[in-house]
Structure 1
Amino acid sequence: MQIEKHISDLLYRYQCVTVPGFGAFLTETVSAQVTGSASSFFPPTKVISFNANVRNNDGLLANHVALQEKMSYDLAVIKIGDFVNEWTYLLQNRDKVVLKNIGEIAVNHEMNWVFEPVNTINYLTDSFGLASFVSSEISREVIKQELALIEEKMPIVLVPEPKYDFSYMKYAAAFVLMLGGVATFGYKLYNDQNVEQQTLLVEKNVQQKVQQQIQEATFMISAPVNTVELSVVAAVENMPYHLVAGAFRSEENASKAIAELNAAGFEDAKMLPLNKSNLYPVVYKSFETMDEAEIEKKNIQKTHNKEAWLLID
């Protein structure tokens, strides 16, 4: 069984792929870039990182292996455990763990694991077909000199031009511009509404597929918190984007998680209704647009919870 291939297949579709008992491979989207004096163009891509502290089994990799290899879920977990034992043995003996199309994991002098990703594979499906390229530098001074020589050699002939009264044309031009502006604004308003509706439908469809893969979710509580009676909060209309801190099978644990988030300064933390996986999602906050949710997700992943993820209602 080639476990690297199964991990690579999941990295195309998910932001986090956890190998139980070993660590998690995380992806972050990087925008297109232009670097260097020769203008090197790089398309948008997914940058892969590794977190050895995330080891809980979320069921995603085991389910995928079971389906692709036509085996039971429990057997898939055992097979994955065999690879984890082999990789751990190599790292303990200061050998490298080479994962094809993903990267290499080595050990430094302090016995810490260091991950070096492969940069030849772009896991961002939106960038399929796009490749980096280098644009040659344009020598503008040569063109200016050639134009100057041509102008010096060209004869100059002064021809008197007839004078016409075009004062009425400015009023006609202003009227035409006004009509064009009204039509453009109306079309843009209609198009923006249509695009927003289509985007929300696609995002909901993707989110439903993600929910089907979730079998278990955890939330780390550093100290016991007294039980707080909280009512389940329904999704607010026109705020379909939720930044999730964790999902719980017990409503009591979800209430404790909300109390801890409130104590940490997240006053908008709340609980969503029970989902199809019989879990109670606990969210930091809900948003009206995807852009707002993405900005807040990056901030919280840097300062509070690297495993925070987006739920689209």
Structure 2
Amino acid sequence: MQLETYISDLLYRYECVIVPDFGAFLSERQSATINIENNTFYPPKKIISFNEQIQKNDGLLARYIADVEKLPFEVANKKIKKRVKTLKSYLTQGETITFNNIGEIIFNTEGKIVFEPSYNLNYLTDAFGLSQFESTEVTREVYKEKVEAVEKVVPITFTPEKRKNRGYLKYAAVALIALMLGGVGASKYYVDTIETHNQLAQEQATQQLETRIQEATFSLNPLPAITLNVTKQTGNYHIVAGAFRVEENCDKKVSQLKQDGFSARKIGANKYGLHQVVYASYEGRLDALKALRNIKKTHNKDAWLLVKKLD
């Protein structure tokens, strides 16, 4: 009988599994740990130990074996007793008893049982699916001492260090402010959110457009004057196609979009002095979002939504 298989099954559900006349296997929950030497993270788990002082039969192991093997309770107890007798004989002969996925037991020089747990299985069901992992070391910028040493010799003028744009920090800040001020009033929250949305989206779009569009060289010829009957667009929701520092480029973009079937137009310069072109303007937010998704999918993945009341 593979006694360790039944003990292992019970350790998932119980903190103490007693092997009558032999000892008890105990499990203790341990929180997640970090090894700072090798940057390894370990999930929470159960630590297995063995206590040879606890030998009184509580019936747990025998009942489980009886249920699994379809045996009477008394027969299961006899099988356990027979197996324990064999294990003790191995120990007295100086052999090491290995319980798979639980640990190893030997007699020390003083005739006491010594248990060495195995860490092959995590018996904590709450941590199912979690495994250890290593994280790369976080390198810190430690320049202060070097700079101070150099500055003693040559005066240095410091300029603000340029960092990579971390847009998600801005959005996190917006979310935090909204939560803190939520009770002030729905209207103020709506206005502040709109202004923040426009500023963040416009800064991101400006950076992308200046990189992708303004670096391009446009060879423009004067366009012939034409007369169009255009229905004035209304609405506070505008899908922005681009922003241009040179207004002639802005006009060319409007012409291109109209040829593609969009109701494109100019809506003036933003606070950065860039002339903005929109695909169209909408009265309803849901209609604008639906159109934006379609444009991103089929025409321009960098298009974005501007919420603004135009004069």
TM range (shorter): 0.3 to 0.5
Larger Rg: 2
TM-score (norm 2): 0.47
